[in-house]
Amino acid sequence: MADFKVLSTHAVQDVLRELGPAFERASGARITIDYDPANALKRRIEEDAEFDVAIVTRPVIDVLAGQGKIRRETCIDIGQSGLGVAVRKGTVTPDVTTVDAFKRALLAAKSVVRSKEGTSGLYFEAMLVRLGIAEVMRSKIVLGGSGRVAEFVARGEADLAVQQIPELLPVDGVDFAGPLPDELQLYTVFSAGVGAACKAEDVANDFIDALTAPASTALFRAKGLESVPR
């Protein structure tokens, strides 16, 4: 039985929780999955972390392929997601359907948690500048670590969480308030690729095929990820 290591962003964690065991049964491979934000995975791979398949954002996989860390010919987009807002379960759900409404919700919140170095968190910081409220919000921002920042909201440590929708939906104790308004939305494309040092190339290619198979489309959608136009 082959050992097979995947380095993945948290956005597809719920997909892999279901798809991984099914792939193990079909392939006979033992899969280990290690989760981190895409930028953290980029650093680890650049520092020669061992892996067979990486699932990261499209810009990160392009950089790693350019460095020869990932085999470019294997890279493929597997899904995309927008950003959303979550609040503690049972509290009043704010209106976030327009730019003005979202801005009011941010200003009314006592605290807002965002990812420290994930794609969503870095974008959110820039978005506050764009909205002209960066200084007002500075003291309200809570920096979440690796993982699902909505857990801060569930524990009562923040009023709002802003993160990619697939990372908000699975968190117990929160309600999904909705996606960001179209004018502010950021769609992140997630891609998979085989590591340059992968010794189980056939298994790796089969794993990526499973991610992109038509049968997986409904699973991705249920977990908050959309298909990428091809």
Q: Does the domain spanning 83-179 belong to CATH 3.40.190.10?
A: yes
Q: Specify the DSSP class assigned to residue 114.
A: E
Q: Specify the DSSP class assigned to residue 47.
A: T
- pLDDT of the residue at 227: 83
Angle, helix 58-66 to helix 38-46, in steps of 10 degrees = 10
Q: Specify the DSSP class assigned to residue 224.
A: T
- pLDDT of the residue at 230: 62
Instruction: Tell how far CA 6 is from the center of its chain.
Output: 15
Instruction: Tell how far CA 21 is from the center of its chain.
Output: 20
**What is 3-80+189-222's CATH topology?**
D-Maltodextrin-Binding Protein; domain 2 (3.40.190)
- Rg value, the chain, Cα: 18
d(CA 158, CA 107): 13
Closest CA to 51 of 32, 24, 67, 78: 32
- pLDDT of the residue at 119: 83
pLDDT in tens, the chain (230 residues): 568 999 999 989 999 999 999 999 999 999 999 999 898 999 999 999 999 999 999 999 999 999 999 999 999 999 999 999 999 999 999 999 999 999 999 999 999 999 987 888 999 999 999 999 999 999 999 999 778 999 999 999 999 999 999 999 999 999 999 999 999 999 999 999 999 999 889 999 999 999 999 889 899 999 999 888 76
- pLDDT of the residue at 75: 97
- pLDDT of the residue at 1: 55
Instruction: Name the residue type at position 212.
Output: T
Main-chain dihedrals φ then ψ at residue 111, nearest 5 degrees? -155, 150
Closest CA to 70 of 81, 80, 56, 84: 56
Domain ranges of the chain: 3-80+189-222, 83-179
Contact 53, 207 (CB under 8 A): yes
Q: Which residues contact 8 (CB under 8 A, 6 or more apart)?
A: 16, 33, 34, 35, 41, 54, 55, 56
- pLDDT of the residue at 64: 98
